[in-house]
Structure 1
């Protein structure tokens, strides 16, 4: 028998006139129950769908207001600088410190090497779970419930919204199972399973949607996604297309269900068109990329471009001449800033430092064997990410990097140093950069850049750079200190062997009056230690026992 796809005639909304009920077999209380809110099937889209929309709109509005307040404080100078008496720290600042403590703190499960998202994200996800559980069960008689428009509003880049993307998918999957099982059980008990399967579109399309949905949520699990990312990404798009198509037919224009699918599709298509349009525009302002092998198992990619970007931002790069890899794009942080004095008709230099693992990075390394240069046409989608606001508004700035995480913090240092020369009102007067690497040859990536940046700053700012070589026994310590006679710059460059004691570095940096801005990028264990130490400092501010008046932390994901 041919499967039923859509019931005829096809409409956009189905009727709200109740049908299919045998009222004569019901008691008055049962009739009243099925006609009440949350139980009336013919108004369920209003009760549940609109409630969900209101919930998310309220949450987005809350964080959008917080983002607006943050931008306002940044515009006014950004902090309550140089408050020596902790008793004078405003209540608002203490509340911000408490929220930032939750944003920095993570949960670690050492045995399985698991690091949770920040506690603030965990709390938000729990709020989502509680909301949907309440909405699903509370009214039941048994209980007597990459252009990202949201990111623009709340001031959070797309990569930091991934945790909510993944957990909302799990919530949707669980509610789908709760939706599915009662229909199957009821149909089997009534002996109508075969008839329902063959005469309506709901059963077979429900299965057709549930199968790819199951694939999507389970194959997106971190270890699987990271291990087989190239394959995962392609199959993720294919499974998503099958799921949405099956879901569209499954809804069968029931009530206003297609309105929600249409709205979601409209937002997604608008975002995709913006990305495509920007990438197409960027293609006319970007030259051929050159590859160069670097010590430390890495590849340097240099791209002349007339594009502009901010410190710490990244591009999604598509290498058009790398065979099958041209089908995918990958995010890489730009380790430079646009040329300050470059003419409009001259290109800036986009420099990417790529650590070699597998997939496309392994392919790039193969092209650079024997130290030779190779090239490829590229498409750049972006820029994205970066730090919301500026670190220049804080009295002291601490930049922490582990391995290739240095590509994120170097532009932040360059931005502060560049503006120290031309902006006499810049608040920041002290910068300390800490870079932990496994082998000494990795330092060659940026030693000259960091030295030049330090010497190029004004005499009013102190720049300290600390290298930590973690893969070499701590037998010797090579320390260098110098003073720039040209600018009067106090510059200290130290090289130590062993892991940096991040807690001690952060606590010492925060043990002075004034405000502190911290940016960190490294492996999960590195970021965990940073967040844990910063969380303690934030709690001290909230209690009124800290010497510093404000600590701002931005942590960048080490991998995609």
Structure 2
């Protein structure tokens, strides 16, 4: 039955309102579905014997879904892509469904108005994706980094919806000859909001080329966008703009409040090709591998920058009373911070975030892989496992391995004492990619190759053996012969780049047939890609957790 002409406007308004409300429900449903898929993964990791065989098809499908394919600068994450496509499709249905029977205006203009309302309704979820304390993370089991990727995708999608909204509107009013419509205040506010959103999208795409410029432009353009879109929108969609403003405002306010509450003094220490920010922090607990946002007024007053905590909380058994942040000076705030070496500065801390990995103590075989400063993530994980092993030694003979890649020998100094601690429980392999063994300095961590430990004449607390392109460093307090397969107290050095794929292959092949192997890696994008590629090609069930520098 057709809708009476005099009721069509009210029916259209009611439908648009209902469909706008469904946007949040659709997004929440997609996240629940995504989480359900990976919730199943928790059960298949524990399955053994006959149950493992039954789970094998699910294991293979999940491996393919979570493998990220890269084509130059373009990445393809199958699981995330499915989630995004479902989101796009449902928005498309909400835009076009039940518009054909509204005839009091041109159909394309009815669709154009619906597009604008759906775009505004997407703003609250889009802003939620950008904040740290994110309720959607509990529904999807996703890290903030992946949610931030979704935030950017949603931003570009909303921008495209707004383009359609403007295009349909311009076509309709020009066809009527009513050009004065383009000069009224609501329309002008709409153009300004569209321009601000363009700046936000371009800034998001260029964030890796100038982070500080990105932060400033995102803050200013984001504020202007919310103000102008409020004055452009109809009354029935203004609550979405207000809620988006509250979400962004509460997130910024909470960050500044926590920053003043967690204000600490920190010492800037110069290291080879890096600096260490040593923050006095004895009363807080954080999970190994967590990160924080730091504001340092002396270096840059109004900006917050993320750094991974390279130490374990003193409340979790660490002997350290400070929170260590390892920073590679590049440009911007890190370059200015390097000039403050030797000084004490005030630091405002917002955290703690991250550490969304499974408890590694439930796995018998664990390998941690780090490249450069990525060890700020894996070193605390290894130390926390060492503490657990010392408190509750495992009875099933855990296989623990730590692989660390550095460009220069002096970069090992970043984690000098930590590596000694880790070697008590882990097999430790250090790869120096830009130095031969002859270039390694003779000190208490790195040694020149010599024939044997017995005839070296070395009077330090360590002994060394060498073979081909490898060095083995062993604590002399450990009464054990120098092994080919490392035991406690040993550190093995290699010259050149490691073959991560083969290292993983050898490590997993040595595990039991029905055993799940845990792999945690942090470093350059290529390292994470290699780990995921190995997981996708292996038939063995594995728990994979990766972080990379340029997420």
TM over 0.5, yes or no? Answer: yes
Q: CA deviation at 1:138?
A: 5.9
Partner of residue 432 from structure 1, selected from 401, 407, 411 = 401
Task: Report if aligned partners of 1:466, 1:493 keep a CA contact under 8 Å in 2.
Answer: yes
**Corresponding position of 2:163:** 177
Q: What secondary structure sits across from 1:320 in the alignment?
A: coil
Find out whether 1:307 has 2:308 as its counterpart.
no
Indicate the SS of the match to 2:208: helix
- Provide the rounded CA distance (Å) in 2 between the counterparts of 1:427 and 1:236: 52
**Contact 1:393/1:426 (8 A) holds in 2:** no
State the match for 1:250 in structure 2.
Answer: 232
**Contact (CA 8 Å) 1:519, 1:553: kept in 2 or not?**
yes
Distance 1:491 1:40, change over 3 A: farther
Map of 1:191 onto structure 2? 177
Q: What whole-Å deviation, never above 9, does each CA across 1:416-445 have from its counterpart, x for those lacking one?
A: 110011124687811111111222211121
Change (3 A) 1:34 1:52: farther
Tell me the residue number matched to 1:510. Answer: 508
User: What residue in structure 2 maps to residue 41 of structure 1?
Assistant: 12
Q: Return closer, same or farther for 1:515/1:487 CA change in 2, 3 Å cut-off.
A: farther
Other structure's SS at 1:530 match = helix
Aligned residue for 1:367, secondary structure, equals coil
SS in 2 for 1:398: strand
Give unmatched runs, 5+ long, in structure 1. Answer: 1-27, 458-462, 541-545
Matches within 5 A, 1:196-345: 196-199=181-184, 201-221=185-205, 224-253=206-235, 256-283=236-263, 286=264, 288-295=265-272, 297-305=273-281, 306-322=283-299, 325-340=300-315
- Are residue 374 (structure 1) and residue 343 (structure 2) matched? yes
SS across alignment from 2:339:
helix
- Asked if 1:80 is matched to 2:31, the reply is no
Q: Report how far residue 234 of structure 1 moved.
A: 0.8
Contact 1:474-1:498 at 8 Å conserved across structures: no
Q: Is the 8 A contact 1:302 1:351 kept in 2?
A: yes
What SS class does the counterpart of residue 366 from structure 2 fall into?
strand
Query: Could you tell me which of 384, 390, 407 is aligned with 2:359?
Result: 390
Contact 2:27–2:87 under 8 Å retained in 1: no
Aligned counterparts of 1:327 and 1:321: Cα–Cα separation in 2: 10
Q: What is the rounded CA distance, in whole Å, between the counterparts of 2:172 and 2:190 in structure 1?
A: 15
1:400–1:409 Cα contact (<8 Å) kept: yes
Distance 2:268 2:167 in 1: 54
Provide the rounded CA distance (Å) in 2 between the counterparts of 1:169 and 1:553.
29
Q: Provide, for residues 196-250 of structure 1, a one-character-per-residue CA deviation record: whole Å limited to 9, x for no partner.
A: 1344x432121011000111112211xx211111011011011011111111111
Q: TM-score, normalised by structure 1?
A: 0.79
Q: Which residue in the other structure is 1:460 paired with? A: none
Counterpart contact for 1:318–1:329, Cα < 8 Å: yes
Does structure 1 conserve the Cα–Cα contact (< 8 Å) formed by 2:375 and 2:404? yes
The residue aligned with 2:421 is 452
Please report the RMSD computed on the Cα atoms of aligned residues, expressed in angstroms: 3.2
Give, in whole Å, the separation in 1 of the partners of 2:277 and 2:479: 33
Contact 2:70–2:76 (CA<8 Å) still a contact in 1? no
The 2-side partners of 1:153 and 1:272 are apart by: 23
Shift in CA distance, 272/219, structure 1 to aligned 2, threshold 3 Å: closer
Q: Which has the higher contact order (CA 8 A, sep 6+)?
A: 1
Q: TM-score, normalised by structure 2?
A: 0.80
Matching of residue 136 in structure 1 with residue 105 in structure 2: no
Matched, 1:149 2:126: no
2:30/2:87 contact within 8 Å kept: no
Q: Deviations over 1:444-479 (max 9, x none)?
A: 211331122322x4xxxxx11111122236996132
Name the structure 2 match of 1:4: none
